[in-house]
């Protein structure tokens, strides 16, 4: 059995680097940074890999930035999402595990007992890094996905990720702010899934968000208006019109939005995330709102 490479004199052990850094930054951050720099998996760090001095210096510099609050995903320009590794920078929100769950739940519903026949048309409203659009395009290899955002700079990041995954023929970009924009009129009754992780934080709560979110992520990704419901309401009002009879509207919502959503769409299904908080709303195409 081969032994893991031991550090030479010009190298430091990965284990030793992590041990020291974990006193200053969360251990998960230290692991994320070092695994990124070494191009290895997290568990490999614990086999005592040799880290060249130059890489160790870079690690210390990034760890210092993480200590002052910078998210490690922006420092490395890399964020995991399901089986993807996406480019991110401060133009887009860092994809969250709760959104992975949204995609998984939407996929389960779309693949249900009577999956739709033919080529699927999917709309990702507020695409940001393109995480949802790319995950869906890969899950349904014959689908077409429209990735919508009001931020041109976010769309540039999404385009970069779509190109990296070779999906440019099936994922198209739309620069728009509302689903009743004339650009969507030709889609009425033709869409299998409208999915969105919209900005849904109530404005008064923004100053209380953790510093790494508040000071680094785009406000446009977070601020949902006075009650956090501006885009949620717009999606409930105009989303169903785009859907095929068995289509689906799937979105992430704030824990405080359950009653608001039910008031606008009586048949909406509200679901909790893995931590037990209200987080998702689903509405079927034929359902009346």
Ligand X SMILES: C[S@@+](CC[C@H](N)C(=O)[O-])C[C@H]1O[C@@H](n2cnc3c(N)ncnc32)[C@H](O)[C@@H]1O
Q: Any contact of residue 244 with ligand X (CB under 6 A)?
A: no
How many Å apart are CA 173 and CA 130, to the nearest integer?
A: 10
Q: How far is the CB of 210 from ligand X (least distance, A)?
A: 15
Considering only residues 84 to 123 of the shown chain, the ones binding ligand X according to CB under 6 A are: 92-93, 95, 99
Closer to ligand X by Cβ: residue 62 or 131: 131
Which of 149, 170, 228, 268 is in the footprint of ligand X by CB under 6 A? 149
# residues contacting ligand X (CB under 6 A): 22
Window 201-230: contact mask with ligand X (x via CB under 6 A): -------------------xx---------
The strand ranges marked E within 62-206 are: 79-81, 84-86, 121-125, 144-149, 171-175, 191-196
How many Å apart are CA 94 and CA 110, to the nearest integer?
A: 25
Cα–Cα distances in Å, from 159 out to 128, 139, 180? 10, 18, 23
Q: Any contact of residue 231 with ligand X (CB under 6 A)?
A: yes
Closer to ligand X by Cβ: residue 45 or 94: 94
Q: How far is the CB of 3 from ligand X (least distance, A)?
A: 41
Cα–Cα distances in Å, from 95 out to 87, 88, 100, 272? 11, 9, 8, 18
Q: Any contact of residue 73 with ligand X (CB under 6 A)?
A: no
Q: Which stretch binds ligand X (CB under 6 A): 49-57, 127-135, 165-173, 208-216?
A: 127-135
> CB count, 10 Å around CB of 141?
8
Closer to ligand X by Cβ: residue 40 or 220: 220
Which of 62, 162, 193, 199 is in the footprint of ligand X by CB under 6 A? 199
Contacts of 257 (CB under 8 A, 6+ apart): 200, 228, 229, 232, 278, 281
* Phi, psi values for residue 81, rounded to 5°: -150, 115
The alpha carbon of 113 is separated from its chain's Cα centroid by a whole number of angstroms, namely 27
Closer to ligand X by Cβ: residue 45 or 84: 84
How many Å apart are CA 94 and CA 98, to the nearest integer?
A: 12
Which of 20, 65, 177, 246 is in the footprint of ligand X by CB under 6 A? 177
Cα–Cα distances in Å, from 225 out to 35, 70, 129, 205, 250? 38, 25, 22, 10, 20
Q: Any contact of residue 238 with ligand X (CB under 6 A)?
A: no
Which of 35, 84, 131, 193 is in the footprint of ligand X by CB under 6 A? 131
SS3 assignment, position 208:
helix
The site for ligand X (CB under 6 A) is made up of 92-93, 95, 99, 126-129, 131-132, 148-151, 154, 177, 197-199, 220-221, 231
């Amino acid at each position: 059995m081969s032994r893991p490479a031991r550090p030479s004199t010009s190298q430091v052990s990965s284990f030793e680097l992590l041990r020291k850094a974990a006193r200053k930054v969360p251990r998960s951050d230290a692991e994320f940074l070092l695994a990124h720099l070494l191009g290895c998996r997290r568990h490999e760090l614990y086999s005592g890999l040799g880290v060249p001095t130059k890489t160790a210096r870079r690690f210390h510099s990034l760890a210092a930035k993480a200590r002052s609050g910078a998210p490690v995903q922006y420092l490395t320009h890399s964020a995991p999402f399901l089986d993807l590794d996406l480019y991110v920078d401060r133009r887009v929100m860092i994809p969250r595990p709760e959104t992975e769950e949204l995609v998984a739940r939407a996929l389960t519903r779309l693949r249900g007992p009577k999956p739709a026949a033919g080529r699927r048309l999917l709309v990702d409203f507020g695409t940001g890094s393109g995480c949802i659009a790319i995950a869906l395009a890969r899950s349904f290899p014959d689908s077409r996905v429209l990735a919508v955002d009001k931020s041109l700079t976010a769309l540039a990041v999404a385009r970069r990720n779509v190109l990296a995954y070779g999906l440019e023929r099936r994922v198209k970009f739309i620069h728009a702010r509302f689903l009743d924009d004339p650009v969507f009129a030709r889609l009425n009754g033709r869409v299998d899934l409208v999915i969105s992780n919209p900005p849904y934080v109530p404005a008064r709560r923004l100053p209380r968000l953790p510093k790494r979110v508040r000071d680094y992520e785009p406000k446009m990704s977070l601020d949902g208006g006075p009650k956090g419901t501006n885009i949620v309401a717009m999606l409930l009002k105009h989303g169903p019109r785009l859907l095929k009879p068995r289509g689906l509207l799937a979105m992430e919502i704030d824990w405080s939005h359950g009653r608001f959503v039910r008031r606008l769409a009586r048949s909406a299904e509200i679901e909790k995330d893995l931590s037990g908080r209200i987080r998702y709303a689903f509405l079927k195409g034929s359902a009346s709102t």
